[in-house]
Structure 1
Amino acid sequence: MPTPPDSTRTSLAQRLTGHARTTWPQLTDLHIRHRGAFAYVDGELADGETVKLMRLRYAGSAASWGFALYYGSTERYEDSILPTGSFAGTPEDALDCACQLHLIAFDS
């Protein structure tokens, strides 16, 4: 698997952070860490709690990433289908899907 270049890592962080600011007010920050072809994305809530959201897999394009949700019940990332019906999509689509699933409990 290809490893994303530094410019793609920077672009990914900017895209996700900007999207989170405008779409997910429950998140005060995003934490993105990279390991090989993967980017792991955690969200920070107002009370300081960190929520594991998703893993993205780089396949050579900054516009389309593979998507895996984090499941707390198994403490694993599992490849998942986005609402678009695909296993890969934009980072913003992946963040929206993960946040819709993981943040709903925090809004109650």
Structure 2
Amino acid sequence: MSPKQWVFDPNSGGVKIKEAVKQRTEKRIRDYAETHLVGRYTRLEIRFRGHFCYADAYTEPEPPGPNWPPPDWPESREEYLERLRDTPFHLFRLRYFGEEDEWGLAFYSYGNNKYELSVFPTGEFFGTPEVALQTAAEFHLRSLDFRTSSK
């Protein structure tokens, strides 16, 4: 029988995030969003738990068509829009391993209702919070100007 070997798994472990790192990371994410993602979200929520950093975005929903809601729909048009405004897009979860520029990345799978290990556009398992945000925004966030956005 061969001896057991330790193998690094980017989808497990991590280091508890210190308060100073939390503050710097949140500032980095917000600064990047305010500079590069203007008009693509209405509110950004960033939270930390243990060795994870989560980012969610709230958006203004596209106005429904003139026949909305259907006659048997359980909420009014205004209630429907408010519910959508209050429903976040889970942008990403970062896993902290002790280096502020090398976080693990997971995207939320709405099909499986959990975060799934992902790679950065470079093909690496580690990257910066800014690249994670830009990558997630390209997938989840579109322009809020419905008159000029492509469908």
TM-score by length of 1: 0.89
Larger CA Rg, structure 1 vs 2: 2
The alignment covers a number of residue pairs equal to: 108
> What is aligned with 1:13?
26
Counterpart of 1:38 (choices 36, 39, 52) is: 52
Q: Identity across aligned pairs (percent)?
A: 35
Question: Which residue type is aligned with residue 129 of structure 2?
Answer: P
TM-score by length of 2: 0.65
Please identify which structure carries the higher helix content: 1
Counterpart of 2:96 (choices 58, 69, 75) is: 58
Query: CA RMSD, aligned part only?
Result: 1.8
Counterpart of 2:132 (choices 94, 98, 104) is: 94
Deviation at 1:28, TM superposition (A): 2.5
Give distance in 2, aligned partners of 1:30 and 1:104. Answer: 14
**SS of residue matched to 1:42:** strand
Structure 2 unmatched ranges of 5 or more: 1-13, 62-84
Structure 1 unmatched ranges of 5 or more: none
**SS of residue matched to 2:42:** strand
Deviation at 1:40, TM superposition (A): 1.0
Superposition misfits of 4+ residues, deviation over 2 angstroms: 46-49, 104-108
Deviation at 1:71, TM superposition (A): 1.5
